[in-house]
Amino acid sequence: MDPVQLLSLICLYGPTPLAGVLAGMQAMQCKSPWQAFLVGVVGTVALAVVFAVAADYLPIFGFGYANGYVWQMHLIYSPILGLPLGAFCAYQAHQRQAPDQVT
């Protein structure tokens, strides 16, 4: 597989995992479990769609698998990653103790 084809595959499948990583990092900083859940879910979906739109309109070296509808694919599949991520971040926010409650 040549590097251009590999880069095209990354642009096609990469927006949702990248969005999940970034939204998860932001959600882990939330104090409330509900806020962490919403940041994880909504952040994953929103960032995945934004990154997919960028992948649609910024072709890499004129070679790619995208036909202009990658954002719809990521809009459909990003909640599959976002819901468990939001639940995990909410659980971690609930388990985390505030600094004044540490014994």
Going from N- to C-terminal start, the domains of the chain cover 3-101
Give CA–CA dist 2/58, Å, rounded: 19
Residue 62, sorted as left (phi over 0), alpha (psi -120 to 50) or beta, turns out to be left
The dihedrals phi and psi of 45, each to the nearest 5 degrees, come to: -65, -45
How much is the pLDDT for 67?
A: 67
Q: Angle, nearest 10°, between helix axes 33-57 and 15-27?
A: 150
Q: What is the pLDDT of residues 36-90, one digit of tens each?
A: 999 999 999 999 999 988 888 776 656 556 567 888 999 999 999 999 999 999 9
Question: Taking the model in full, what pTM does it have?
Answer: 0.83
Give CA–CA dist 56/38, Å, rounded: 27
Q: How many CB atoms lie within 10 A of CB 75?
A: 17
Q: Considering only CA atoms, which of 62, 61, 57, 29 is closest in space to residue 43?
A: 29
How much is the pLDDT for 22?
A: 96
Q: How many helices (H) and strands (E) does the chain have?
A: 4, 0
